[in-house]
Amino acid sequence: MHALLAASAALASVQQQPACQALTLADVTPEIAPPVPLSAREEAIISVFENNTNAVVNVFDVTLQGTARPPGQDELQPEGNGTGFLWDDAGNVVTNYHVLQSALAAMGRRPGAQRAGQGGQVVAKITLLGMDGFNQTFDGTLVGADRNKDICVLHINAPKSLLRSVKLGESRALRVGQQVLAIGNPFGFDHTLTTGVISGLGREIQSQLGGSIGGAIQTDAAINPGNSGGPLLDSAGRVVGVNTAIFTASGLSAGVGFAIGIDTVRRVVPQLIATGKVVRPALNIQISSEAVARQLRVNRGAVVQAVAPNSAAAKAGLLPTRRALSGIVAGDTIVRIDSKPVAKPGDLALALDDYKVGDMVRLKVQRGAGDPQGPQELDINLRLEEETV
């Protein structure tokens, strides 16, 4: 009887407790903080990206591989991947030479193929992002290429509505610490933005093809494989360089990247568009390597190894390295061109980038290097010619 009464009391107690309520999505969803206005710096970066992303293109190298197909029906197979940007509203695209190295080399190997600089050959597939958010791909035909400066110009026949060219700035006015942005296609991820600062200016770099490029920009903005040929922009959205190389043992970005200064690019690209080639001002002399110069007991300047016959340098009396009864005599050593010092052979080539064919220059040369009484200093004036040696 007592047990029955206890069970009834327990049942009544349970019935008096409130029933468990079912949980809703609102009960388990945390409160979301309202959006806050972007900072002025964020707004500026976003603006630069959005205003330029449609001018940045994806460049796929293609190699013309002969097959059993009829002439003109060769299969195009993509091999490389890089970045480029629309130079103007006429459909000219700028990228790095090394991005298209395989296709350009194939042109020279193929019977009847046009060589770099003559144009007309399809060397790339170029993908643009339209204002509607969709990609469109076009054939990229060669306009001209400059192997020495690692620059190539292509052309696409795209509708005018798709051609959103970049704005060009100047690289000579840049300052270390200035913010820069890079837009490119690293590892094939198109329209990727990285930011950083200019960490060095006036660098001399060796392109992947062996050419010496002066006035290069060093930046800590991440530059990875696939960024090559893309624009380096300042905070106002102007192109100040063409991303071209990274300095790392692993091949991946390690905080040191380089871009060709836009001032160099502006000297090259118009010539490629107009004539398909670059006409360089030159002294038409051969310069000894630093190792040879040291053997000749010359530790500073650019030693003249040979002078082209009938050149302006020969007519001005510039002396080459030669054999005499006493042994090998060092040629004239160029230590200055106008106001620009020449401390090593590479300085002379870089200094000539600032001139054009027909300009008059004054060379400060030392004659008689290794002479116990010291070399004789001379001033030699001559007119720069088109490069032939």
Domains present along the chain, CATH in parentheses = 47-162 (2.40.10.10), 167-275 (2.40.10.10), 281-386 (2.30.42.10)
Q: Which residues belong to the active site? A: 98, 150, 228
The pLDDT of 120-125, averaged and rounded, is: 89
Other C-beta atoms closer than 10 Å to the C-beta of 356 total: 12
Q: What is the pLDDT of residue 130?
A: 87
CA distances from 183 to 68, 188, 243 (A): 40, 12, 9
Overall average pLDDT of the 360-374 stretch: 83
With tokens 């330029």, the residue in question is 52
What is the tens place of the pLDDT at every residue in 153-188?
999 999 998 999 999 999 988 999 999 999 999 888
The one-letter amino acid code at 4 reads L
* Banded pLDDT at 48 (limits 50, 70, 90): very high
Q: Which helix (H) or strand (E) holds 47?
A: helix 40-52
pLDDT confidence of residue 61: 87
CB atoms inside a 10 Å sphere around CB 74? 15
**Averaged over 346-351, what is the pLDDT?**
84
Predicted confidence at residue 202, as pLDDT, reads 87
Rounded Cα gap, residues 206 and 127, in angstroms? 29
The per-residue pLDDT for range 104-113, each reduced to its tens digit, is 887 765 433 3
pLDDT higher than 90, residue 207: no
Per-residue model confidence (pLDDT) at position 345: 84
d(CA 38, CA 55): 25
Residue 328 contacts by C-beta under 8 Å, 6 or more apart in sequence? 296, 321, 322
Q: 3-state class of 158 per DSSP?
A: coil
